[in-house]
Amino acid sequence: MLCHNITEENGILHFAGYNTAVLAEKYGTPVYLMDEERIRENCRTFTSAFNRYFHTPVKALYASKACCIKALYPIIEEEGLGIDVVSCGEIHTACSAGYPLQEAFFHSNNKTDADIAYAMEHEIGTFVVDSKEEADVIEAQAEKLGKIQNILLRITPGIDPHTYEEVNTGMVDSKFGTAIETGQADQLVQYVLSLSHIQLLGFHCHVGSQVFDEDVLEKATQVMLGFISHIRKKLQFEASVLDIGGGFGVRYTESDPIVDLDARIHSIADVFYSTCEKQQIPCPKLYMEPGRSIVADAGMTLYTVGSIKQTPGYRNYVSVDGGMSDNPRYALYRSAYTCLPAGKTKEGRNMKAHLVGRCCESGDIIQPDVLLPSSTQRGDVVAVCTTGAYNYSMALHYNMLPTPPVVLLSKTGDRPIVAKESFDDLIRNQL
Ligand SMILES: *Cc1c(COP(=O)(O)O)cnc(C)c1O
């Protein structure tokens, strides 16, 4: 199986030890399931690798955008992770969950003046500043509030992570960050150092998402430490923080490589210490920002099959009661998913079909060429694995389809952490 939290018992798919048929019956479909233990295990993979391979401060920040739900923040906090946020909506969610925002880093390539004011009123720990204009607004706001705001600068290291173009963010020609290559990063550092209400702690980069290449984060670490050393010589500024972003790849199908996160972190640690030594710089505090690798394989979506269309000589279509409205990732990136029958797991999977949603859009495909039992019929439940990241958080209201509920599966029981949206919820803001 794709992940050890997926098993089969008596012809029925189990997730996190729970019978999916029972969950589908209890909560209705579509429904997002989240496995609390798996989230904790994923957090601990980072924290225990940090303990093993690092002897200087290092911390993981959970990237909220992967799945931003109030009930997840106490889990993240208990596991000792900080967080990233990218909008006031995410700040509000974390804040409502009682998460200490001192531990939060605020990203985004375009924070509005209102965003900056809101984040500072909520005493966000650190801004990750993307441009000079943003630094100016933070400086002015900090002066008004009579405080000094901690920031990092987002730098573009110019590394190709070999991932989808839409999630490739570390190249010079990117809307994110300021390039080292063009000398603009140097200028921005110099400028920010001249501001009196901003405290520059160090630098951030994020080269992309769903990165499988073994050495991408290592390369980013090297380039960024080189930059820190360069700035130290040129501007006598000693960075105390380096944040190398997230992007660890996740296994969506059996043909994806198995990602050995512990080994990856080990190799990043080796490169980190050897480069600090080579560059003769003190080791900065290191941050990593996993999002997907914390929550993706902790998630599963259940759907109920509706119509099955078999046209002789053409492909088959199996339609389910959700679609791009709860999982737009195939439509956006052609993302691969493993789709499994939730019942009939003992039957052969002899029918090949496009698993499609119910939205009025031909591109509303959850996954093409899925294998299902040929006895699949209306009312059967189908599971899509590894939907914990960028599914609930990317859900849309196209066709006025309510966002499905999210159910947290824990050792102590199952409970909804996001209620099923009602039709009234859909029109709440319509005047
Ligand atoms: C999206 C993002 C992350 C998380 O990426 P994952 O691929 O989910 O690990 C981390 N940092 C920044 C700045 C991001 O934009």
pLDDT digits 0-9 by tens, 147-174? 999 999 999 998 876 665 555 666 677 7
The ligand 1 atom at the shortest distance from the C-alpha of residue 291 is 8
List, in order, residues 6 or more apart from 243 with CB less than 8 Å away. Answer: 61, 105, 128, 152, 202, 203, 204, 205, 286, 287, 288, 289
Can you give the length of the chain in residues?
A: 431
For the CA of 86, the closest atom of ligand 1 is 15
Question: 201 CA distance to ligand 1 centroid (A)?
Answer: 20
Tens-digit pLDDT profile for the chain (431 aa)? 788 999 999 999 999 999 999 999 999 999 999 999 999 999 999 999 999 999 999 999 999 999 999 999 999 999 999 999 999 999 999 999 999 999 999 999 999 999 999 999 999 999 999 999 999 999 999 999 999 999 999 999 988 766 655 556 666 777 888 999 999 999 999 999 999 999 999 999 998 888 877 789 999 999 999 999 999 999 999 999 999 999 999 999 999 998 899 999 999 999 999 999 999 999 999 999 999 999 999 999 999 999 999 999 999 999 999 999 999 999 999 999 999 999 999 999 999 999 999 999 999 999 999 999 999 999 999 999 999 999 999 999 999 999 999 999 999 999 999 999 999 999 999 99
DSSP 66: G
Dihedral in degrees, nearest 10, Cα atoms 94, 98, 101, 105: -30
Mutate to test the pocket of ligand 1, among 39, 59, 81, 209 (most ligand atoms within 8 A of CB): 209
Q: How much distance in Å is there from the Cα of 175 to the middle of ligand 1? A: 15
Ligand 1 pocket test, pick from 76, 206, 244, 264 with the greatest ligand atom count within 8 Å of Cβ, gives: 206
DSSP string, 287-316: EE--SHHHHGGGEEEEEEEEEEEE-TTS-E
Instruction: Indicate which residues carry an active-site annotation.
Output: 360
From CA 247, how far away is CA 291, in angstroms rounded? 7
Helix, strand, or coil (residue 40): helix
**Distance from Cα 394 to the centre of ligand 1, integer Å:** 14
Q: Which residues line ligand 1 (CB under 6 A)?
A: 63, 65-66, 84, 107, 206, 209, 245-248, 289-293, 389
Alpha-carbon distance of 390 to 106, in angstroms, equals 19
Angstrom distance (rounded) from CA 164 to CA 149: 35
Alpha-carbon distance of 48 to 263, in angstroms, equals: 12
Cα–Cα nearest to 295, from 406, 381, 420, 404:
406
pTM for this model (two decimals)? 0.96
Q: How far is the CA of 362 from the centre of ligand 1 (A)?
A: 30
Q: Is 261 helix (H, G, I), strand (E, B) or coil?
A: helix
Instruction: For tokens 């994110």, name the residue.
Output: 176
User: What whole-number distance in Å separates Cα of residue 305 and Cα of residue 174?
Assistant: 41
260, 217 Cβ separation under 8 angstroms:
no
Which residues sit opposite 150 in a β-bridge?
Answer: 126, 199
Encoded tokens for 112? 């509005």
